[in-house]
């Protein structure tokens, strides 16, 4: 757009005091999903906890109002799995996903 390019997906990760790894993924594409596969080096991950959440909407200009305070709200996300030391995630368009990995 305007000669500028942005990555479709950005990822960040952190480890909490209990050793749980939290991964946040953002798909900025308004129409295309993204399939992500991440290597989990240095982490003996066995599962993605059901703690996954997603924030997305069906329209790019969706927003909360006083009349509709939950038009955009976090929901459960189950589109991720860990297998063979890799995290695989299918991100819908316009979404922010957070996962807890054990």
The domains of the chain, with CATH numbers, are: 9-101 (2.60.40.1180)
User: In a 3-state reduction of DSSP, which class is residue 42?
Assistant: coil
User: In a 3-state reduction of DSSP, which class is residue 34?
Assistant: strand
Phi, psi of 58 (to 5 degrees): -85, -10
Whole-prediction pTM value?
A: 0.85
Q: Are 31 and 95 in contact (CB under 8 A)?
A: no
The set of long-range contacts for 69-77, using a CB threshold of 8 Å and a minimum separation of 24, is 76/50, 76/52, 77/52, 77/53
What confidence tens digit (pLDDT) does each residue in 74-95 have?
A: 999 989 988 888 899 999 999 9
**Confidence grade of residue 68 (pLDDT, cut at 50, 70, 90):** very high
Q: Whose CA is closest to 91, among 1, 10, 12, 5?
A: 10
What confidence tens digit (pLDDT) does each residue in 2-56 have?
A: 888 889 999 999 999 988 889 999 999 999 999 999 988 888 766 665 467 899 9
């Amino acid at each position: 757009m305007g000669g500028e390019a942005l990555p479709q997906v950005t990822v960040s990760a952190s480890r909490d005091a209990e050793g749980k790894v939290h991964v946040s993924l953002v798909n900025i594409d308004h129409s295309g999903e993204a399939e992500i596969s991440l290597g989990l080096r240095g982490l003996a991950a066995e599962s993605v906890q059901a703690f996954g959440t997603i924030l997305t909407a069906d329209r790019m200009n969706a927003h909360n109002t006083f009349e509709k305070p939950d038009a955009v709200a976090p929901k459960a996300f189950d589109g991720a799995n860990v297998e063979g030391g890799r995290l695989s995630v299918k991100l819908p368009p316009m979404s922010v996903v957070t996962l807890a990995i054990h």
